Amino acid sequence: MKEQLAAIAEKIKGLGPVEGLRYFAEAYPSQVVFSTSFGWEDQAITHMIFSNNLPIEVFTLETGRLFPETYYVWNRTLDVYQKPIKAYFPQAEAVQQMVSSKGPSSFYDSVENRKECCYIRKIEPLKRALSGHKIWITGIRSEQSVNRHDMSNLEWDEGNQMIKFHPIFFWSLDEVKAYIKEYNIVYNPLHDKGFPSIGCAPCTRAVREGEDFRAGRWWWEDQSKKECGLHAAS
């Protein structure tokens, strides 16, 4: 696999994000998917895919606990591009069992409970979304968290047995914002209210001045534990 990744890395070396996306779409037809949560980075990549008519499936995880503002961006994105975004929901029985036995806010009680909720609402649906595909496109950037500094824009995801490509991995947040402004891309208004990272509503708050980029995610937990598991395998 290292040799395969090295060969691919050589082929996409020097390519911009759109050209990199086009390479994978052509090299792996019907095998490329992009996961969006409708944040700044994901909206930029969605624009790249849709405006260039790249044959890449775009999907999102509908956890059932999203902000109203996130649904607004979702709807506006559909209106602007007139292209589908496939929604993956958690298994109803699993959600019912968890909420019935532990209540609707069990994730505040312990890290174990929070990880259980993340698994049911995000990880399991993600595995269904990725099934049958070979390339997973994400909006991950290097500066988003300490855990991502040592990552690369091209990786092998052992947990999901597929290649991951992060087309704007080396972009700064200012570059993302500039791209959003240049192409007049709809974005989540929560970003303008101190939310650099937006997930489920009960688990996300605004970041205060001087705080880490992801301080608003699962703020009641230790900093070292602030990953939901979507990208933990990398």
Residue 210: per-residue pLDDT: 81
The sign of the dihedral angle between the CA atoms of 91, 201, 131, 44 is positive
What DSSP designation does 157 have? E
pLDDT at position 225 over 80: no
Asked if residues 50 and 171 have their Cβ atoms less than 8 Å apart, the reply is: no
Residue 29: per-residue pLDDT: 97
Q: Closest by alpha carbon to 199, among 69, 19, 43, 47?
A: 69
Domains of the chain: 2-225 (3.40.50.620)
Instruction: Give the model's confidence band at 147: pLDDT under 50 very low, under 70 low, under 90 confident, else very high.
Output: low
What is the mean pLDDT of the segment spanning 87-102? 98
Instruction: Give the model's confidence band at 222: pLDDT under 50 very low, under 70 low, under 90 confident, else very high.
Output: confident
| Tens-place pLDDT, residues 128-144 | 999 999 999 999 998 87
Residue 223: per-residue pLDDT: 62
| Tens-place pLDDT, residues 151-168 | 789 999 999 999 999 999
Q: What's phi and psi for 105, nearest 5 deg?
A: -130, 35
Count of Cβ atoms closer than 10 Å to residue 55 Cβ: 12
At 229, is the secondary structure helix, strand, or coil?
coil
Look at strands 32-35 and 135-137 and give their pairing. parallel
Q: Which of the residues are catalytic?
A: 228
Return d(Cα 182, Cα 180) in angstroms, integer: 6
